[in-house]
Amino acid sequence: MRKAFGLLVIICSLPLLVFLFNKIGAELSSAQTFSKQFSSSVQLTDTQAINPTILKDENKKTFSEEYSQWRDPIELGNVPDFAKEIFVYSEDTGFYDHMGFDLTAIARAFMANQNDGATSQGGSTITQQLVRMRYLSQEKSYERKMLEIFYAYELEKKATKDEILNDYLNEMYFANGVYGIGGASTYYFNRPLHSLSKAEIAFIAAIPNNPSLYDPLRHFNNTKKRQERLLDKMVEKDELTEKEAQILKNKKITINIKQKKQLYPEYSTYVMNELRSLISQVDGYHVRFNAAQTSAEKATIDKELTERVKEVVDSGVVIQTALNPEKQTDVTKSANSILKEYSKLQAAATVINNDTREIVSVYAGKGYIKYDFNRSYQAKRQPGSAIKPLLDYGPYLEKYHATPDTLIDASDFCKGTYCPRNYDNVSVGAVTIENAFKNSYNTAAMRLFDHVGMKKAFSYLQPFTFDRATKRDLTYSAAIGGFTDGVSTVQMADAYTSFIDGSYTRAHAIRSVKTRSGKLLYEWPDTSKIIWSNSTVSGIRQMMASTVDSGTGQGISANSDYVGVKTGTTNSYKDFWITGLTNKYTSAVWLGYDTPVKMESLENDKIHHKLFNAMVK
State the catalytic residues.
91, 385
**DSSP letter (8 states) at residue 196:** S
- Whole-number Å distance between alpha carbons of 258 and 548: 49
Burial of 207 (0-12, 13-18, 19+ CB in 10 A): buried
Give all strands of the β-sheet with 510-514 in edge-to-edge order: 62-66, 53-56, 318-321, 510-514, 520-522
Region for residue 430 given its phi and psi (left: phi exceeds 0; alpha: psi -120 to 50; beta: otherwise): beta
The amino acid at residue 169 is L
Amino acid code (one letter) for 371: Y
Phi, psi of 606 (to 5 degrees): 50, 45
Q: Distance (Å, rounded) from C-alpha 152 to C-alpha 15?
A: 15
CA distance 371 to 266: 8
**CA geometry: angle at 30 spanning 29 and 34, to 5°?**
115
Q: Where are the beta strands (DSSP E) in 148-216?
A: 178-179
What are residue 37's phi and psi, to 5 degrees?
A: -65, -40
Distance CA(333)–CA(335), nearest Å, equals: 6
Strand partners, 415: 418
In angstroms, the CA 168 to CA 184 distance is: 13
Task: Give the number of other Cβ atoms within 10 Å of residue 310's Cβ.
Answer: 12
Taking a C-beta distance cutoff of 8 angstroms, is the pair 242, 235 a contact? Answer: yes
Give dist(CA 427, CA 420) in Å, integer.
11
Beta-bridge partner residues of 363: 349
Q: How far is residue 417's CA from residue 199's CA, in Å, rounded to a whole number?
A: 83
DSSP secondary-structure letter at 259? P
Length of the chain: 617
